[in-house]
Chain A
Amino acid sequence: MTSPFEYAPAPESRAVVDIAPNYGLFIDGEFTDAADGKVFKTVSPSTEEVLSEIARAGEADVDRAVAAARRAFGKWSALPGSERAKYLFRIARIVQERSRELAVLETLDNGKPIKETRDADLPLVAAHFFYYAGWADKLDHAGFGADPRPLGVAGQVIPWNFPLLMLAWKIAPALAAGNTVVLKPAETTPLSALFFADVCRQAGLPKGVVNILPGYGDAGAALVAHPDVDKVAFTGSTAVGKQIARTVAGTGKKLTLELGGKGANIVFDDAPIDQAVEGIVTGIFFNQGQVCCAGSRLLVQESIQDELLDALKRRLSTLRLGDPLDKNTDIGAINSAEQLARITALADQGEAEGAERWTAACELPGAGYWFAPTLFTNVTQAHTIARDEVFGPVLSVLTFRTPDEAVAKANNSQYGLSAGIWTEKGSRILAVANKLRAGVVWANTFNKFDPTSPFGGYKESGFGREGGRHGLEAYLDVR
């Protein structure tokens, strides 16, 4: 169907980024092959094109990287904070300078729309380094006692949904506090972390302060279990988070975990419907729903269910799915075939358990990994799609009659990461926000992030906070 309002293609040029045919591990300031010579390929999820071949870290490489970080720790932690700050400010500035290149790279490797990498990921990455740079020489005033000390070597494992942003959340506070790091990016999105290694080179960062180990879960497990790691930070699934908690039990390692979520987005009958619809869309379709704090459960007050769902479906029908490099694209590719299979299986299960499935009519590209925006109605709290994290563009719709019921349903989850509230009534916002067991509550907005704003979960969504003054605590010996 052609409409006079169709958008012409508006692709961002990929000439701005030069991806080498292969990359090594980044250890002690040098790119190096894996000790066992293993490699893996990273593909563009929107085309399945192989982007590059990457060295795959193994246990021996973890040893090397941790040793390099340990050697670097003495000098790095002894630097005046003001000098560490300047390195981080340099990194922030270089990220800003190279932000278009990094945005295109991230979109190629991750599959998310350029609109998001350009307007959300990259600005937040630079802002995060800029923010924590300023803390490096002010730690005495952060409320953790006079002269708080760094922990040592931080082992950090990050997910594929916001590859460079999660790197920034991990590395910026760690370096500001005087730690050195070994970071393992996810196996499906190693490229931006390797480009970040080049940013470190340009910034003149001393070798060994940042080490990047692309690899799979085995490398992550080895890093977390390494006896010379003092601090473990993980963002990823709750199942892996629990395994890591067991691994570090009984050791002196400090642990922070940012895990899964099943955020409730609560819409009351007096909510501004148009804004709420935009918030619901942002909540679950931003980054194809591959967001731990996604508003994946819509709780709508019964009296406005029909009106809201009609408006929501109309809006979903206008979302443009396709080439992530197109500046008009709203919905990009799912990150991997595995993730697509998981989303597909959970959506099928939702249908099998009796929920009613609705999918926006939209054509899916032939190559690549795609899933059309989908919502389920007639969902009960017992349904798998109301309980398990789908990590995809799938929204479960439940209803409620009273604020108490909304709160009870919102809190009926093993998770407690995020929640949304839509109402014009201020006292109701505050009352409901107060009762929600969630680390981040967005009222009349959703999926907003800022380096000054602490982020992290209650319950099985993990512990510790990233961002803000709170985020420093994870990297300081506060006692």
Chain B
Amino acid sequence: MSDKTEQHRLSVFKTYKLYVGGKFPRSESGRVYEVTDSKGNWLANAPLSSRKDARDAVVAARKAQGAWAGATAYLRGQILYRVAEMLEGRRDQFVREVAEAEGLSKPKAAAQVDAAIDRWVWYAGWTDKIAQVVGGANPVAGPFFNLSTPEPTGVVTVLAPQDSSFLGLVSVIAPVIATGNTAVVVASERSPLPALSLGEVLATSDLPGGVVNILSGKASEMGPHLAAHLDVNAIDLTGADDELARDLEIAAAENLKRVLRPRAEDFTASPGTDRMTAFLETKTVWHPTGSLGASGSSY
């Protein structure tokens, strides 16, 4: 009765889209570019984001920043941990995407993905500890309570590393948002697919929309606008080459953005705290202690 012909099932392709403000838009420009694996085989058409997309992402990041910074450090930690949980469940997908993107063997790609998942766990634990490590009471020579605490800088533009499409990506996003900043991320130009898929994970990890916004396209096209954008507080230039990094640092001086310059990176090494402290401000609050005199006045 039934037809016995062996029919190979045609797979369903995914349309890779941006992740902005908790939603998955295409580029407003309607542009895409062809993404291939390391051998040149077609993988997908990724959105070629425009400067308008970048501006929209900044608006979304700014809108989300207050509430994210205002969330308890414990809650931020749980959400970052939730990202690790969600990634663990989609591990096979990311191993495949990283293997294709970077031309790695399955075991090597798996090592990258595992390290990236563990990195979320590492930063999840940092959210409620960094303030004690980099802040504290200052023993001033006078009758004053004096306390320094770290606060997030605000909206951070992140040019993700070009070569490490997933472990490197996670290694630059997690420290930015762990402390309460929000991020506008420009993914690796050649290998944006793991980044765009990460957006799908973040969207299902209780991370409020707008905390991380992910754009694919050219760092050289969006970078100058983001570096000059007056509502961006800081920029991580990890994914920029030397010439672009210098140009963007010059543009960033317009509103004195905090700049993290590109440097030699080994993303497999244990991260220190400096990717967090690069995007933290220190606020110091003074108050008189005085003494409780007869009047009851303390100053």
Contact A448 B286 (CB under 8 A): yes
Contact B246 A249 (CB under 8 A): yes
Contact A242 B288 (CB under 8 A): no
- Bound state CA distance, A444 and B297, in angstroms? 12
Q: What is the distance, in angstroms, from A224's C-beta to the closest C-beta of chain B?
A: 13
B284's partner among A249, A440, A445, A462 (CB-CB below 8 A) is: A440
Whether A145 contacts B272 in the complex (CB less than 8 A), given A127-B141, A242-B256, A452-B139, comes out as yes
- Bound state CA distance, A453 and B149, in angstroms? 11
* Residue A246, interface by CB 8 Å: yes
Question: Which chain A positions have C-beta within 8 A of B246?
Answer: 249-250
A479's partner among B139, B142, B148, B274 (CB-CB below 8 A) is: B274
Contact B253 A468 (CB under 8 A): no
Question: Which chain B positions have C-beta within 8 A of A456?
Answer: 282
Contact B285 A443 (CB under 8 A): yes
Whether A458 contacts B250 in the complex (CB less than 8 A), given A145-B272, A245-B256, A445-B287, comes out as no
Contact B284 A453 (CB under 8 A): yes
* Residue B9, interface by CB 8 Å: no
- Bound state CA distance, A453 and B133, in angstroms? 16
Contact A439 B281 (CB under 8 A): yes
B138's partner among A243, A445, A453, A462 (CB-CB below 8 A) is: A453
* Residue B245, interface by CB 8 Å: yes
- Bound state CA distance, A441 and B147, in angstroms? 10
A463's partner among B140, B256, B284 (CB-CB below 8 A) is: B256
Question: Which chain B positions have C-beta within 8 A of A438?
Answer: 283
Interface string of B140-152 (1 = CB under 8 A from A): 1110101010000
- Bound state CA distance, A421 and B138, in angstroms? 20
Question: Which chain B positions have C-beta within 8 A of A245?
Answer: 249, 252-253, 256
- Tally of contacts, chain A with chain B, CB under 8 A: 110
* Residue B71, interface by CB 8 Å: no
* Residue B254, interface by CB 8 Å: yes
Q: What is the distance, in angstroms, from B255's C-beta to the closest C-beta of chain A?
A: 6
* Residue B263, interface by CB 8 Å: yes
Question: Which chain A positions have C-beta within 8 A of B139?
Answer: 452
- Bound state CA distance, A272 and B298, in angstroms? 11
Whether A454 contacts B138 in the complex (CB less than 8 A), given A242-B253, A245-B256, A448-B144, comes out as yes
Question: Which chain A positions have C-beta within 8 A of B111?
Answer: none
* Residue A460, interface by CB 8 Å: yes
Contact B242 A441 (CB under 8 A): no
* Residue A275, interface by CB 8 Å: yes
Question: Which chain A positions have C-beta within 8 A of B272?
Answer: 145, 479
Interface string of A210-244 (1 = CB under 8 A from B): 00000000000000000000000000001001110
A444's partner among B245, B274, B288 (CB-CB below 8 A) is: B288
Say whether chain B's binding surface is mostly helix, strand, loop, or mixed.
mixed
Whether A433 contacts B256 in the complex (CB less than 8 A), given A250-B246, A450-B141, comes out as no
Contact A465 B282 (CB under 8 A): yes
Question: Which chain B positions have C-beta within 8 A of A243?
Answer: 253
- Bound state CA distance, A448 and B284, in angstroms? 11
Contact A458 B281 (CB under 8 A): yes
* Residue A205, interface by CB 8 Å: no
* Residue A23, interface by CB 8 Å: no
Count chain B residues whose beta carbon lies closer than 8 angstroms to a beta carbon of A: 36
Question: Which chain A positions have C-beta within 8 A of B258?
Answer: 463
* Residue A67, interface by CB 8 Å: no
Q: What is the distance, in angstroms, from B199's C-beta to the closest C-beta of chain A?
A: 29
- Bound state CA distance, A246 and B284, in angstroms? 28
Q: What is the distance, in angstroms, from B193's C-beta to the closest C-beta of chain A?
A: 30
Whether A470 contacts B253 in the complex (CB less than 8 A), given A429-B287, A439-B283, comes out as no
Question: Which chain B positions have C-beta within 8 A of A127?
Answer: 141
A275's partner among B141, B254, B263, B299 (CB-CB below 8 A) is: B299
Q: What is the distance, in angstroms, from B133's C-beta to the closest C-beta of chain A?
A: 7
Whether A439 contacts B285 in the complex (CB less than 8 A), given A453-B138, A459-B255, A460-B255, comes out as no
Q: What is the distance, in angstroms, from B70's C-beta to the closest C-beta of chain A?
A: 9
* Residue A35, interface by CB 8 Å: no
Within 8 A of B (CB), among A265-298: 272, 275
Contact B148 A433 (CB under 8 A): no
Whether A445 contacts B283 in the complex (CB less than 8 A), given A245-B256, A450-B141, comes out as no
* Residue A143, interface by CB 8 Å: yes
* Residue B134, interface by CB 8 Å: yes
Most buried by B among A242, A249, A440, A460: A249
- Bound state CA distance, A245 and B254, in angstroms? 9
Contact A459 B256 (CB under 8 A): yes
- Bound state CA distance, A478 and B260, in angstroms? 13
Contact B144 A478 (CB under 8 A): no
Closest residue of A by beta carbon distance from B141: A450
Closest residue of B by beta carbon distance from A438: B283
* Residue A66, interface by CB 8 Å: no
A249's partner among B133, B253, B288 (CB-CB below 8 A) is: B253
Interface string of B244-279 (1 = CB under 8 A from A): 011001101111101000010000000010100000
* Residue A257, interface by CB 8 Å: yes
- Bound state CA distance, A429 and B299, in angstroms? 15
Within 8 A of A (CB), among B95-112: none
Q: What is the distance, in angstroms, from A434's C-beta to the closest C-beta of chain B?
A: 9
- Bound state CA distance, A105 and B38, in angstroms? 70
* Residue A129, interface by CB 8 Å: no
- Bound state CA distance, A241 and B285, in angstroms? 25
Q: What is the distance, in angstroms, from A172's C-beta to the closest C-beta of chain B?
A: 15
- Bound state CA distance, A26 and B105, in angstroms? 62
Contact B148 A468 (CB under 8 A): yes
Interface string of A154-182 (1 = CB under 8 A from B): 00000000000000000000000000000
- Bound state CA distance, A455 and B285, in angstroms? 10
Whether A454 contacts B284 in the complex (CB less than 8 A), given A143-B134, A459-B256, A468-B148, comes out as yes
Question: Which chain A positions have C-beta within 8 A of B287?
Answer: 429, 443-445
A454's partner among B148, B288, B297 (CB-CB below 8 A) is: B148
* Residue A31, interface by CB 8 Å: no
Q: What is the distance, in angstroms, from B100's C-beta to the closest C-beta of chain A?
A: 32
Contact A450 B285 (CB under 8 A): no
Residue numbers of A with Cβ under 8 A of B are: 127, 143, 145, 238, 241-243, 245-246, 249-250, 257, 259, 272, 275, 414, 429, 433, 436, 438-445, 448, 450, 452-456, 458-460, 462-463, 465, 468, 470, 478-479
CB pairs A–B below 8 angstroms (9 shown) = A241-B256, A429-B287, A441-B284, A444-B299, A445-B288, A452-B138, A452-B140, A453-B148, A463-B256
- Known contacts A448-B140, A453-B286; 20 additional CB pairs below 8 A are A127-B141, A145-B272, A246-B250, A249-B249, A257-B256, A429-B287, A433-B283, A433-B285, A442-B285, A444-B287, A445-B286, A445-B288, A453-B140, A453-B148, A453-B284, A458-B153, A459-B256, A460-B255, A470-B148, A470-B282
Residue numbers of B with Cβ under 8 A of A are: 133-134, 138-142, 144, 146, 148, 153, 233, 242, 245-246, 249-250, 252-256, 258, 263, 272, 274, 281-288, 297, 299
**Which 3 interchain pairs have the tightest Cβ spacing?**
A250-B246, A249-B249, A245-B253
